[in-house]
Amino acid sequence: MAGWAEHADQRFIINASFEKHGVYVVLRTVINAAKPELPTQATIYPAANRSERHTQDMFGVKFIGHPDNRRWTRHQAWDKHQYPLRKDFPVQGEPAEITPPDMHYDFIKGHGAGVYEIPVGPVHAGIIEPGHFRFLAVGELILNLEERLGYVHKGIEKIAEGRTPEGLARLAGRISGDTTVSHCWAACMAMEQAADVTIPNRAAFIRGILAERERIANHLGDMGAICNDVAFTFAQMQFTRLRELWLRTNATVFGHRLLMDVIIPAGVSRDVSEASCALLQQDIVMLRKELTDIMTAIDLNSSLEDRLYTAGYLPPEIAAAFGTVGYVGRASGQDFDVRRDTAYPPYDQVSVKVALETQGDIPSRFWIRHKEIMASLKLIEQFITLLPEGDMTTEWLTPAIDNEGLGIVDGFRGEIISYVRFAANNTIARFYPRDPSILNWPALEKLVLNNIVPDFPVCNKSLNGSYSGNDL
């Protein structure tokens, strides 16, 4: 699910997108700005909870009957009755010299003998972005976890207004730095749909290569980090080494380690030569061989098994209720992948094998990453073999005012949805990107229950939600 709003004159346009069996529908209603109210969907669709809170904070829309209407997005950066995505709110805002501390958030309280609170964050020991986690525990057993995110609000939706298609593509690539390819692709897909532009087939295949290389790089990093969080440093070093070699090839072939700005409206900015294809093939051969040895060592490690198996269990029914996507959902039996179920070029021209696990614990989220890597290697091989001749870009057609598009792409974390509507002169009127983390983060509050506090870091890493992708 995705939900977003737009301020237009004296009204608000409220949108919600739903998916079932690979078919998407967008529902839309208009409400008066004088009294902006709507019944909540969060009591029926838990996935709507935080998107409605975001709309509440950004537009001042009240969702009647919402189970949790506490302020969510960048807590004290503007006054209570200021709404940054309304048209009368300036892009630069009206910031105070010092933003006041966020001291009065009403966290859930625990009662009873031996129950105590553990605050973690928002500033962490590593280089990750800020997020606050408030635990209730008895001894080491976690009774409740409450997340408090939204400390890194970037104003993506606001600063998208008035941009050119090229400018929006660059902005979309910076929503979440580890997902630059997929977010940029989704935004470009939405703009191309609005402009009735069909990209060249060669460009589509190159986009597929980029997306699968991004997926593999991130899965390698995550697998190493999961091992590191239970002190299996050897595996972390090996996965980090393999990821580094993979990123160096990205830089050699595409000019950027993280593949930033290679996807552009109406195509791609970098071609792939025969020599580059040979180098990509060498990468595949090397990675398959190295992973075979490493995964054998991991599979035989009894202490790793003892720390991970049955920890961080996310039941399939909870995964379904919260709309979890990507490896989080697929590790708990959610058999959905945009590349297969709502196939877009080039995935509509190949066979996409979707990895699936049903145990729902940390090892399931570890092994499904490995399965996805192996499937992605096969996809890249197919894309190289089938890579057609032709142009990298096609002519851009200026969309009419109010033309709109919906881009849906499967990133490494799962389904990304981007909505775009155009204004006059080839500029953007509204841009809303929904990162998979918005759906997956709430699942962390469920999968840590009845685990011990020392297992939280590895539970968290097995989900690996994006802070930046969550806080636009």
Which runs of consecutive H residues, i.e. helices, occur in 153-272? 156-160, 165-172, 180-195, 201-228, 233-254
* Strand partners for 141: 138, 452
**Tens digit of pLDDT for each residue in 272-309?**
999 999 999 999 999 999 999 999 989 888 888 888 99
User: What's the rounded Cα separation, in Å, for the pair 406 and 187?
Assistant: 8
* Strand partners for 148: 132
- Nearby residues of 436 by Cβ (< 8 Å), 6 or more positions away: 325, 326, 411, 413, 414, 415, 416, 466, 469
pLDDT confidence tier of residue 210, bands split at 50, 70 and 90: very high
Judged on CB neighbours under 10 Å (0-12, 13-18, 19+), 37 is exposed
Q: Write the single-letter amino acid at 332.
A: S
Q: What is the pTM of this model?
A: 0.94
Q: In order of start, what are the domains of the chain with their CATH numbers?
A: 1-96 (3.30.460.80), 163-461 (1.10.645.10)
User: What's the rounded Cα separation, in Å, for the pair 190 and 204?
Assistant: 14
**Residue 317, both tokens:** 């029914």
**Tens digit of pLDDT for each residue in 409-462?**
999 999 999 999 999 999 999 999 999 999 999 999 999 999 999 999 999 999
**Tens digit of pLDDT for each residue in 372-382?**
999 999 999 99
